[in-house]
Amino acid sequence: MSRKVRVRFAPSPTGPLHIGGVRTALYNYLFAKKHNGTFVLRIEDTDRNRYVEGAEQYIIDALTWCTIPFDEGPGKEGDYGPYRQSERKHLYKNYAEELIEKGSAYYAFDTPEALDHHRKDHEAKGKTFIYNWHNREKLTNSLTLTAEETKSRIASGEAYVVRFKMPHEETVLLHDRIRGEIKIDAALLDDKVLFKSDGMPTYHLANIVDDHLMEISHVIRGEEWLPSLALHVQLYKAFGWTPPEFAHLPLIMKPTGKGKLSKRDGDKMGFPVFPLTWETSVGYKEAGYFPEAVINFLALLGWNPGDEQELFTLAELVEAFELERVHKSGARFDPDKTKWYNHHYLQLQSNEDLANSYASILEKELADDYAKFTIDYITTVVSLVKERATFVADLWELSSYFFKAPESYTDKATKKHWKEETPNILVSLAAVLTDLSKFDGATVETSCKEWIAEQELSFGKVMPPLRLASVGDLKGPHLFDIMSLIGKDESIGRINSAVASL
């Protein structure tokens, strides 16, 4: 019978979560949901030197904003808590001792200075010092000391570590759901430290013990943990526990060149690398991205559904996601693609929702004049311009002229379209507009066009300068829609201002 799916995201709270971490969390979430499993958040905070205040809350807030909440974790206690390793401290010592009793681990008393000496000594001979089967019999540990000596050293308070006794005669056969079979020669591995006399486990011991106690069925984590896999598998074997299945995710690579995506790439090229703002680094949220866009682009950074489909809702991702389709090689990060996704998800927002988001920008830009505009008006404006917007913040650049008369006119358009006869033409047209009793788009359009025909003018002589006067530029949606929306007085006023100032 296959195990109930329980996966975990196990970040160390050493700073903000990088989007690579968010992707790891996302893949865990998708896998859990696809298999009706449980998604656990475990905070691996045993290394107090690297602990960063606020990082845990940041991780929780980031997962919440990305709409991939955990089922069990800090603040959502389930049957396997506590979910912070610092609160599980008391558990690990017994497991270290269990391995010692089983002959799979031992106490080591070598001081940092002594180890350094061995390292240098080896280097001088052109060799590398590894604390393993090759050297362990020559070092200061419970394998070389008598039982009494070991006991008395511990009793006297001497600093020690517990090391795993890596079996060296075997080839470790590893299976990774993404990478397939991997063979590792155990003779090359070192006797990793599992526990220290300060009472703290190392990452390896705590991680294995907790995955076991929390009944984790699948470990889905970043590629940087692949070198630890052989040790982890050997630890499971030593304990006599069934290991979970493993899947190591590919790195997220820089947009150009070699290496993995870093905060520096983001700073240099102007894109976020964190989901939420952290100190001076602007997050995806604050940069105006929709969580749907972030989730969608992250899902496709290292996975594909096997066809060309690029747009997925979270529910569709859950449905389509398969570990076997995760790539082995690094996934190149493409900042333009993230914008493409955001543009798509902005189009899916209702005009009302966008208008509500836009309202806060308008409030700032327009100050007292903001009160002149109803939310219906803002909604209509949004409906006319949103096609060109990637972010809500783009709406101002695209539609400011719906809220205030142009303060200047672009040079290029003015030079090209504002001719000597233009003022006369526009003043006559303004007179026609003044006489209109209705000012809807269709009426304005028909009367303008009829007038142009009567005057035997070309459209090119009238329309571009009329747009320039109304908008300040040649951009914008259908001009008669703009005029009708800003209204008759405003339209005529803008024509007069342009005539006066150009």
Indicate which residue of 263, 337, 461, 488 is catalytic.
263
Indicate the angle between helix axes 479-486 and 375-385, nearest 10 degrees.
170
**How near is the Cβ of 125 to ligand GLU at its closest, in Å?**
35
Kindly tell me which of 122 and 204 has the beta carbon lying closer to ligand GLU: 204
**How near is the Cβ of 134 to ligand GLU at its closest, in Å?**
27
**How near is the Cβ of 71 to ligand GLU at its closest, in Å?**
17
Partners of 195 in the β-ladder = 162, 201
Q: Which stretches within 391-458 are classed as H helix?
A: 394-399, 411-417, 422-434, 441-454
Nearest to 377 by CA among 397, 398, 351: 351
Q: Which residue has 């909440």 as its token pair?
A: 69
Binding site for ligand GLU (CB under 6 A): 10-12, 44, 207, 221, 225
Kindly tell me which of 225 and 451 has the beta carbon lying closer to ligand GLU: 225
Neighbours of 118 (CB within 10 A): 16
Pairs from 100-104 (Cβ < 8 Å, separation ≥ 24)? 100/142, 100/162, 102/238, 103/165, 104/164, 104/165, 104/238
**How near is the Cβ of 86 to ligand GLU at its closest, in Å?**
13
Kindly tell me which of 207 and 338 has the beta carbon lying closer to ligand GLU: 207
Rounded to the nearest angstrom, the gap between the alpha carbon of residue 70 and the centroid of all alpha carbons in its chain is 16
Kindly tell me which of 191 and 223 has the beta carbon lying closer to ligand GLU: 223
Nearest to 301 by CA among 317, 282, 285, 284: 317
Nearest to 140 by CA among 170, 161, 169, 168: 161
Rg (CA), the chain: 33
**How near is the Cβ of 76 to ligand GLU at its closest, in Å?**
19
- For the chain, the residue count is 502
Kindly tell me which of 8 and 285 has the beta carbon lying closer to ligand GLU: 8
Q: Is 268 one of the annotated active-site residues of the chain?
A: no
**How near is the Cβ of 190 to ligand GLU at its closest, in Å?**
18
Instruction: Indicate the helix (H) or strand (E) that contains 246.
Output: strand 245-249
Give the separation between CA 480 and CA 411, rounded to whole angstroms: 23
**How near is the Cβ of 406 to ligand GLU at its closest, in Å?**
53
Kindly tell me which of 172 and 219 has the beta carbon lying closer to ligand GLU: 219
Query: Can you give 348-390 as a three-state secondary structure string?
Result: HCCHHHHHHHHHHHHHHHHHHHHHHCCHHHHHHHHHHHHHHCC
Give the separation between CA 385 and CA 354, rounded to whole angstroms: 11
Instruction: Indicate the helix (H) or strand (E) that contains 194.
Output: strand 193-196
Kindly tell me which of 8 and 467 has the beta carbon lying closer to ligand GLU: 8
- Residue 382 near residue 355, CB atoms below 8 Å: yes
Residues carrying an active site annotation: 263
